[in-house]
Amino acid sequence: MVTKNKSKVRVIPLGGLGEIGKNITAIEYGDEIIVIDCGLAFPDTEMYGIDLVIPDITYLVNNKSKVKGLFLTHGHEDHIGGIPYILRQLNMPVYGTKLTLGLVKSKLEEHNMLSDCTLIEVKAGESVKTDNLKIEFIRTCHSISDSCALAIQTPQGVIVHTGDFKVDYTPIDGEVIDLQHFAKLGKQKVLLLMADSTNVERPGYTVSEKIIGENLTRIFGKAKGRVIVASFASNINRMQQIVNSSLHYGRKVAFSGRSMEKISDIAMELGYMHLDKNNIISVDDIDKYPPEKVTIITTGSQGEPMAALSRIAYSTHKKISVQKDDLIIISASPIPGNEKLIARLIDELFKKGAEVVYNALEEVHVSGHACQEELKLMHSLLKPKFFMPVHGEYRHLKRHKLLAESLGMDSQNIFIMETGDVLELSRNSAKMAGRVTSGSIMIDGLGIGDVGNIVLRDRKHLSQDGILTVVVTIDKESFTVLSGPDIITRGFVYVKESGDLLKEATELVKEEIDKCMDKRITEWMVIKSNIKCSLGEFLYNKTRRRPIILPIIMEI
Amino acid sequence: MVTKNKSKVRVIPLGGLGEIGKNITAIEYGDEIIVIDCGLAFPDTEMYGIDLVIPDITYLVNNKSKVKGLFLTHGHEDHIGGIPYILRQLNMPVYGTKLTLGLVKSKLEEHNMLSDCTLIEVKAGESVKTDNLKIEFIRTCHSISDSCALAIQTPQGVIVHTGDFKVDYTPIDGEVIDLQHFAKLGKQKVLLLMADSTNVERPGYTVSEKIIGENLTRIFGKAKGRVIVASFASNINRMQQIVNSSLHYGRKVAFSGRSMEKISDIAMELGYMHLDKNNIISVDDIDKYPPEKVTIITTGSQGEPMAALSRIAYSTHKKISVQKDDLIIISASPIPGNEKLIARLIDELFKKGAEVVYNALEEVHVSGHACQEELKLMHSLLKPKFFMPVHGEYRHLKRHKLLAESLGMDSQNIFIMETGDVLELSRNSAKMAGRVTSGSIMIDGLGIGDVGNIVLRDRKHLSQDGILTVVVTIDKESFTVLSGPDIITRGFVYVKESGDLLKEATELVKEEIDKCMDKRITEWMVIKSNIKCSLGEFLYNKTRRRPIILPIIMEI
């Protein structure tokens, strides 16, 4: 031990609390920091034009020399999606299981930075040591293979981070959650538990993935033509089950959609999915087989407009179009916010003549997160001294706190924290100890953080009522208007439908400018502000709309 | 009978098929047309800045002299919300039950047009005659009081339109659905059934409204302080139950939110809600009573940012703020698309320290629409010869068709139609017979239909990447640039964060213009197009964004 035994452990969630996505947590002891996960979040509806959101890691960058490594629980985007952006600012070794690293690798390749990064594979059951800490990888079940919880042994005690998990006694890959290991940790005493709160509102148990396979096989049995299944590309066990159902009926399998092709390749290469090459066909060749011998596994289960299934539905897919007798299965449930997109997609598929099966009708999807009874099991195995609910919006964290209390935990020992809060722990105590810089970095195209609140506010405003540009050229010597004012609009009204509105508006602006010229006002700001004011009022009275008004004065 | 017996009946849905909202149907026989309902729809997420959508009634306007009246099934916005806009184009008498007309009246008052309109009250069980048609109002149950189905007796047979309905054997107001009347019609033979498809995906029965009352009283019993209940203002039976639960515990009731105040007034005045004046308190006075003696019934159950509950949550309500021990009940379920807004609202209320109860935790809301078993009951009572599923998106209509087939109906006799399709019926036959003009009219502020697809496309584009305006003043005689080019952006990048991007862009535009000047190009379109082209490419390469580029050339 290099550091004095008396250092406290600091646990700092830098994302993922009070929000869904961009999970990242720092654990600091003395002069060491380890980082757990580094995910991205998808933009809120208010984040107009934003592609992705990543966590602000200023705190880690400011403590660069302390950071020992990034430890990954599993390979979902909300746990690994931020890595390419973060490693550019802070290059640290990345530890994870084989599949998780396989997905990270492909991501880093796309960003052309794989050669600069260090990826270190760890198997479930193994551990990694730093000077003062020991990080154990513990097998869990989730909707992606090779998921792990992490137990971090610190000089003050053990911290357990469940990652995302569910308790599945009959997982498809046979990799049952390592309950014994959790029990052993509980026996030895756990200082702090950080546990997944996603499904805490749901009573009972999450159904085993295996049930979905049985349902799929039954539904496949009714198909007269092709079966097209949309699912999350990362759900490799689901993919395996779709493959199994297909083989059961002698169907060949085609993969459609970039991420589906990519992840199925990685999964097969690394041994997480088993499918004989003879049974794989290219999307180019599907028409060479009788429809009842073809399954297509595709992206687009969330109704994403550019994903394969939407392109199939709206007839913009180059190679696949809906045929009579197609049976389409949406083996996923809507991520909140996507409900309407998915409903529209299902409508379109029905209209094109396909049969569509989705979760409202048949159980063709199951969550990857623990429901109440599974959470109780985890709490009861680990019996932690302190507890911090993680992965969830505020109401989830709050419910998870109540759940822990219902198991007898002291409410003083439970910490509902926000991103950036610091929890300081010793062997016998835990307390909130200030905050560090944290937040969201928005990514728009190539820009990382160059779009902020003012730009977003403008985009929202533009989306509501459009913009109206007023241009005038003025001779600043003689105070005369040389050209204009001209009004050009976008997103405001149909010029043809607007009657005399814009003509009247132009007249109004002309008067306003003439007044300023007469008064010899040379302060352009004043003229602009006068134009904005009177034009804004005029337009609001006429239309009840408030477009952005952009007065531009060209002076000669 | 004025018209020859041989005229066919034409049924023309002008809205509400393949969509949720703006329900309106025309029934035409000889030289008579009657209209059933006239609703509005709320804009899709793609309809940037649009407030409301109403049906296109060109067909009715073109056949003005035939139109005998508007017959209303119930007072929900998706059935009456279009009336003020439609009556301006086509003034016809409006028939409906007392509460329905009470709500229409208040709407027409707001639009200052009540004195020009004819409202004729009809009681459930009564009927209205035109020359050739007889329209019977039949009591149903729904999430608003005084709902009716309509049976239209035509010389070719009876057409039954269920309106929105559920089968509630224990409704709060004692007004049980008139199953006997439906049975009688079925016995006499029904030519065509048009039935509500909203809940056709749900098996079983919709729970009785009464159960919700029992649950509310139980939950109220746990409240230590104030109870704040958010619900749909139009759900008067729900309001009555909230009132009953409040009185049970000696609580006074305050109404908060414009539509809640308005509709509770109308409901009490017309006798649809019973609450002694002594037990009503103003929102201004709530602090004069002990918290455990106060209930606030409020709007905002959908997380609408401007509604009372959101203003309470985000501390922008002038009179109500969240207090310790407040129990807040969201007695509604999310309308698709509102899930995220509501989740954020619940989070905020929890954060402010309130206890929040919502449908994920307790049964505090029930649907107003029939589930599968209720639909089967209606089909079995009426045994129609022909069937047209209505009120639903395409998948609902399709599922409803399958449900009818499962009851033995011939699939040839079932018509899944689109808005604008015409169904022509005689005593023994039904067939699709062309289409009439139909569609959506978008309302934005005071503008009715002045925003179309180009404006929406621009608003979408603006919301994604913003706008970049390039202005230059040119002397058209000498081919010289007198001022500019200047670049002004909104919603594109933070100017401060963008480094030299805009400087480089300005240089590029300057070169482009100089080239054109050198070549003596006087066609401004060419110059503008060149600027758009090269600037667009430059910006895309630098940022991967495609703002709207608006080149403006001022000539002198």
* For range B95-119, the mean pLDDT: 96
Residues A419 and A482 in one domain: no
Residues B399 and B529 in one domain: no
| The predicted structure's pLDDT at residue B471 | 92
Q: CB-based contact (8 Å) between B66 and chain A?
A: no
Phi, psi angle pair for B318, to nearest 5°: -70, -30
Q: Compare CB distances from B450 to A361, A454, A497 and report the shortest one's residue.
A: A497
Q: CB-based contact (8 Å) between B306 and chain A?
A: no
Is A552–B486 a contact, with Cβ atoms under 8 angstroms apart? yes
List A residues 172-211 in contact with B (Cβ-Cβ < 8 A).
201
Q: Which DSSP category does B196 fall into?
A: E
CA angle A202, A206, A212 (to 5 degrees): 135
* Cβ atoms < 10 Å from Cβ of A440: 20
Look at residue B1 and tell me if it is in a domain. Answer: no
Residues A163 and A31 in one domain: yes
B156's tokens? 């070719």
Q: Compare CB distances from A350 to B398, B497, B552 and report the shortest one's residue.
A: B398
* Distance, first Cα to last Cα, chain A: 74
CATH of residue B520: 3.10.20.580
Q: Compare CB distances from B494 to A339, A454, A494 and report the shortest one's residue.
A: A454
* Cβ atoms < 10 Å from Cβ of A260: 24
A542 to chain B: which residues are within 8 Å by CB? Answer: 446
DSSP secondary structure, B459-495, as one string: HHHHHHH-EEEEEEEEETTTTEEEEEEEEEEESS--T
B59-85 as b/e: b if 16+ CB within 10 A: bbeebeeebbbbbbbbbbbbbbbbbbb
Residues A252 and A192 in one domain: no
B415's tokens? 């018509």
| The predicted structure's pLDDT at residue A2 | 44
Look at residue A460 and tell me if it is in a domain. Answer: no
Q: Could you tell me the residue range of the domain that residue B461 belongs to?
A: 453-555
Residues A291 and A179 in one domain: no
Q: CB-based contact (8 Å) between B305 and chain A?
A: no
Q: What residues contact residue A544 under an 8 Å CB cut-off, 6+ apart?
A: B445, B446, B447
| The predicted structure's pLDDT at residue A6 | 67
CA B19/CA B5 separation, integer angstroms: 35
List B residues 318-337 in contact with A (Cβ-Cβ < 8 A).
336-337
Residues B95 and B54 in one domain: yes
| The predicted structure's pLDDT at residue A522 | 74
**Nearest chain B CA: its distance from A346 CA (Å):** 7
Is B45–A45 a contact, with Cβ atoms under 8 angstroms apart? yes
Look at residue B2 and tell me if it is in a domain. Answer: no
> Hey, CA dihedral for A239, A241, A243, A246, is it positive or negative?
negative
Residue B422 annotated in ligand binding? no
Residue B486 annotated in ligand binding? no
Q: Residue B405 pLDDT more than 70?
A: yes
Q: CB-based contact (8 Å) between B47 and chain A?
A: no
> Hey, CA dihedral for A45, A50, A52, A57, is it positive or negative?
negative
Q: What residues contact residue A152 under an 8 Å CB cut-off, 6+ apart?
A: A27, A34, A133, A134, A135, A136, A158, A159, A160, A161
Q: Judge contact between B199 and B370, C-beta under 8 A.
A: yes
> Hey, CA dihedral for A374, A376, A378, A381, is it positive or negative?
negative
Q: CB-based contact (8 Å) between B552 and chain A?
A: yes
Look at residue B362 and tell me if it is in a domain. Answer: no
Is A395–B346 a contact, with Cβ atoms under 8 angstroms apart? yes
Residues A16 and A152 in one domain: yes
Residue B369 annotated in ligand binding? yes
Q: Which of B295, B322, B357 is the last residue of a domain?
A: B357
Look at residue A171 and tell me if it is in a domain. Answer: yes
Residues B172 and B308 in one domain: no
pLDDT digits (tens, 9 = 90+) for B59-86: 999 999 999 999 999 999 999 999 999 9
List A residues 531-550 in contact with B (Cβ-Cβ < 8 A).
542-545, 548, 550
Return binding residues of A for substrate: 233-235, 365-369
List B residues 6-35 in contact with A (Cβ-Cβ < 8 A).
18
Share of chain B above pLDDT 90, in %: 81
Q: CB-based contact (8 Å) between A494 and chain B?
A: yes
Residues A150 and A251 in one domain: no
pLDDT digits (tens, 9 = 90+) for B41-66: 998 888 888 999 999 999 999 999 99
Q: Compare CB distances from B494 to A347, A394, A452 and report the shortest one's residue.
A: A452
B48 to chain A: which residues are within 8 Å by CB? Answer: 463-464, 491
Is B473–A473 a contact, with Cβ atoms under 8 angstroms apart? yes
* Segments of chain A scoring below 70 in pLDDT: 1-6, 495-497
* Cβ atoms < 10 Å from Cβ of B44: 15
List A residues 152-171 in contact with B (Cβ-Cβ < 8 A).
none
Number of domains in chain A: 3
Is A18–B347 a contact, with Cβ atoms under 8 angstroms apart? yes
| Closest chain A residue to the Cα of B497, Cα to Cα | A450
Q: Which of A417, A448, A479 is the last residue of a domain?
A: A448
Q: Residue B102 pLDDT more than 60?
A: yes
| Distance (Å) of CA B340 to CA A46, A112, B47, B337 | 11, 36, 18, 8
**Nearest chain A CA: its distance from B547 CA (Å):** 10
CA B427/CA B405 separation, integer angstroms: 21
CA A535/CA A519 separation, integer angstroms: 19
Counted across chains A and B, CB pairs separated by less than 8 A come out at 208
| The predicted structure's pLDDT at residue B1 | 40
CA B318/CA B284 separation, integer angstroms: 10
Q: Which of B357, B390, B405 is the last residue of a domain?
A: B357
| Closest chain B residue to the Cα of A548, Cα to Cα | B490
Per-residue pLDDT band for B20 (boundaries 50, 70, 90) equals: confident
Q: Residue B479 pLDDT more than 90?
A: no
Closest CA to B531 of B548, B519, B517, B549: B549
B209's tokens? 């409204």
**ipTM score of complex:** 0.84
Per-residue pLDDT band for B518 (boundaries 50, 70, 90) equals: confident
- What letter represents residue A364's amino acid? V
In terms of C-beta density within 10 A (0-12 exposed, 13-18 middle, 19 or more buried), how is residue B93 classed? middle
Q: CB-based contact (8 Å) between A394 and chain B?
A: yes
Is A471–B340 a contact, with Cβ atoms under 8 angstroms apart? no
* For range B514-518, the mean pLDDT: 86
Phi, psi angle pair for B296, to nearest 5°: -115, 125
In which region does residue B49 sit, left (phi positive, over 0), alpha (psi from -120 to 50) or beta (all else)? left
Higher pLDDT, A3 or B34: B34
Residue B79 annotated in ligand binding? yes
Q: Judge contact between A554 and A471, C-beta under 8 A.
A: yes
A112's tokens? 């052309």
Look at residue B271 and tell me if it is in a domain. Answer: yes
Is A48–B491 a contact, with Cβ atoms under 8 angstroms apart? yes
Q: Judge contact between A205 and A357, C-beta under 8 A.
A: no
| The predicted structure's pLDDT at residue A494 | 76
DSSP secondary structure, A403-438, as one string: HHHHTT--GGGB----TTEEEEE-SS-EEEEEE---
A336 to chain B: which residues are within 8 Å by CB? Answer: 339-340, 343
CATH of residue B329: 3.40.50.10710
CATH of residue B402: 3.60.15.10
Residues B502 and B409 in one domain: no
Look at residue B178 and tell me if it is in a domain. Answer: yes
Residues B147 and B123 in one domain: yes
**Nearest chain A CA: its distance from B460 CA (Å):** 6
Look at residue B147 and tell me if it is in a domain. Answer: yes
| Closest chain A residue to the Cα of B458, Cα to Cα | A491
pLDDT digits (tens, 9 = 90+) for B172-225: 999 999 999 999 999 999 999 999 999 999 999 999 999 999 999 999 999 999
Closest CA to A138 of A71, A80, A86: A71
Residues A15 and A63 in one domain: yes
